[in-house]
Amino acid sequence: MDTEVLFEGKMNLSFGQIYLMSGDTDQPDFDDSRRGQANGICGAAEPGRLLLATGLHTGYVALRIEHSEQEPALDDAWEDIVEVSFLPAAPDILVHGLDGCTSAEFRLPTRSYRVRYSAIGMDEGNQVNVVGDGEPLVDRYLLQFWPAGAAADAVRKQTSTVAKQWHQDWR
């Protein structure tokens, strides 16, 4: 299966939030993005945008974003895994932290996707709280897109206390 890496690197964020927006959509609303969902770490309730929660409050996390034409194999090495449906409002995608600094831009064909958001180290990131530039990264995240019809969001794996709390808060 061919996998296209759309972004791989450090993501600068604050208040534990990463925003993904398509087209001219505004950044996701903290509450509305997760309203009615089973999971609390990947808000997809608002059309054309995603709100990704991290364990780290402020600073840098590792993020990889992938696109493939088929559902990727589920990698059990990740501690927390959720899936949501996503329909971009336009092919241009922008990903950034709450402070608004652009960290990634890429294009996706405008069609329906399933998105898997996976995390390692959410609890450690939450304990460290802040990771400055040049400091070792504590938590890592993977965002995977593949074509699929719309379906309810799902928690595929939940290990960390941080993810458990977010899931409980939004159910």
Q: How far is the first Cα of the chain from the last one, in angstroms, to the nearest whole number?
A: 35
* C-beta separation of 85 from 115 below 8 A: yes
* C-beta separation of 50 from 82 below 8 A: no
Per residue of the chain (171 residues), what is the pLDDT tens digit?
Answer: 699 999 999 999 999 999 999 988 777 777 788 888 899 999 999 999 999 999 999 999 999 999 999 999 999 999 999 999 999 999 999 999 877 566 889 999 999 999 999 999 999 999 999 999 899 999 999 999 999 999 999 999 999 999 998 888 766
Place of tokens 């608004």: 100
Give the C-alpha separation, 43 to 51, whole Å: 5
Note the pLDDT of residue 166.
Answer: 84
Beta bridge partners of 65: 7, 143
What domains can be seen in the chain, in order of their start residue?
3-169 (2.60.34.30)
